[in-house]
A and B are shown apart, each in its own frame.
Chain A
Amino acid sequence: MRTSRGTTLALRSVALVYLVGLLAVPIGVILWRTFEPGVGAFVASVQTPAAISALNLSLLIVAIVVPLNVLFGVVTAIALARWKVPFRGVVQAVVDLPFAVSPIVVGVSLIMLWGVTGWFGGLESATGVKVIFGLPGMVIATIFVTLPFVVREVEPVLHEIGTEQEQAASTLGASGWQTFWRITVPAIRWGLTYGVVLTVARALGEFGAVIMVSSGFPGVSQTLTLLVHSRYIDDHNTYGAYAAATLLMGLALVTLLGMTLLDRKRSTR
């Protein structure tokens, strides 16, 4: 349908005003607040020992979560796309489940399972490994919320490429492993990369599930998101919270850029 010039302009204005008011202006304000006292103040604020330790902890969690998600995600995707899986529908639903669960509920569930009084509470008293209020809890919480990404990006690609290429490789004498590394992996690499980028973004940004299972000590068990929260709530350090948020936002923007570029790559593959 061809809309008149007036209608077009009216619709465009409403959409842009909405997006500017909801997205652009708030982000502009926080940037302005962060950099108003100068770049030096920002750098100093994100270089305090607590901030550096928070960044390190966030990156450590990412470094543990990503390989695990890639490994198990790819196996799950291959199983769902290629193998005979009993109760396929149920498995599909379980893979999607983390999307539907509130982060707070994730935290509570993990406490109920891994906490001292939880089902697996004996593990902690037996080995002394603190899951809840320790690094393992934060890692498990992050895996829970990021579990679907790799599976959901890789599985459709596997469906799309079909089995012909893999069969062709096997008729040419390739072993199962050779087929996997030479045919399957190159085919899924962009989908997998996209899934990893989503995983990284979510792992860096997760707050609700992590705050429930972290002891939250500055310099010890605070991730970047927990740092933003505690600076604002506990320390009443509003500027510090803005600065840490800006740092996280920078990471998010890099992710977004990566997603946009990858998305183009994926679709023109």
Chain B
Amino acid sequence: MTATTLPRGDSATEPDPPHDEPAGAPPTREGRRPAATAGRALGLGVVGLWLSVIVLLPLAALTVRSFDEGVGGFWDAVTAPVALAALGVTLGVSAVVALLNAVMGTLVAWVLVRDDFPGQRVVNALIDLPFALPTIVASIVLLSLYGPNSPVGIHLNATRWALVVALTFVTLPFVVRSVQPVLIELDREVEEAAASLGASNLTTFRRVVLPTLAPAVISGTGLAFARAVGEYGSVVLIGGNIPRETQVVSQYIQQQIEIDRPANAAAVSVALLAVSFLTLFVLRVWAGRNQRKEARSS
């Protein structure tokens, strides 16, 4: 598996495919066949209805219901001290996890591409495990090692470190899988050119390799951050759910539903959604700008 399970940050900014008929073009063969046109209209209707019922309507209901008690109610729900604390813990831990991923993910990708050792293929396949493993299993797996009965004597249960470990576990593939293909495609001659001009390995990496990898590292890191912010399953057992300490936003929302405060839950959900969307939006704009820069200059 490659980065196929990652959100495709660039798909919405994609230019229309070239075989798309330009507006005002003479009707094509299919265009003249009424049956085909009717079929397409039906197909489009079905797609629109499906996406609306499954994705759009629930999110619309969520957004509208979050303002059930007015803008003031929304604001009070989001700025309740415990909610703010949960938001703070979530963002702080996610930022640490994202940075850890940026460094270690790049390093792991480098070793997987440039190094050659027995068992490398197994290690490479192992990287995808966190994507294949159910999050609740991830939680209990980490609990068995770092939990109350830790066989190695490391007790992270109900600490922020537990959150870091759990979120690092589930976000591991993002940076590795976004950097790996770039590293494989990297023109080795460019590194040789730098060496022939007298650059040491460190200089070559810092000034020639890293600038090329940077977009992939940043996009992988951003995706990991967005995933970490909304994560629930992997922290539910090991995180401890202690308000103001280790409770993350998703746990806070779940708690609000349990104590029958749906409006609060909806309001904080909208805030959480906003954080995720903002992250992905910034990434997309930035990736689009990079792409345009490349397109303009080539």
Using a CB–CB distance below 8 Å, which chain A residues touch chain B?
1-4, 7-8, 11-12, 14-16, 18-19, 22-27, 29-30, 33, 72, 75-76, 78-79, 81-85, 88-115, 117-119, 140, 143-144, 147-149, 152-153, 159, 162-163, 170, 176, 194, 198, 201, 204-208, 211-212, 224-225, 228-229, 232-233, 238, 241-242, 245, 248-249, 252-253, 255-256, 259-260, 263
Contacts and interface: CB of A to CB of B under 8 A. Distances in A.
A259 B1 contact: yes
Interface string B86-112: 000000000000000000100110111
Interface in B60-115: 61-62, 64-65, 104, 107-108, 110-112, 114-115
Contacts of A72: 46-47, 50
B172 A12 contact: no
Contacts of A248: 133-134, 136-137
A122 B245 CA distance: 40
Given A95-B51, A102-B229, A110-B58, A85 B250 contact: no
B61 to A, nearest CB: 4
Contact of B257 (A14, A19, A108, A170): A108
A88 B58 CA distance: 21
Contacts of B272: 102, 105
A30 B237 CA distance: 15
B40 A88 contact: no
Query: Shortest 4 CB-CB distances between A and B: which pairs?
Result: A102-B230, A205-B134, A109-B58, A208-B232
A109 B59 contact: yes
Nearest to B90: A102
Given A140-B54, A152-B8, A233-B237, A78 B43 contact: yes
Q: Is the interface of A mostly helix, strand, loop or mixed?
A: helix
B126 interface: yes
B54 A147 contact: yes
A212 to B, nearest CB: 7
A104 B232 contact: yes
A75 B140 contact: no
A240 B289 CA distance: 51
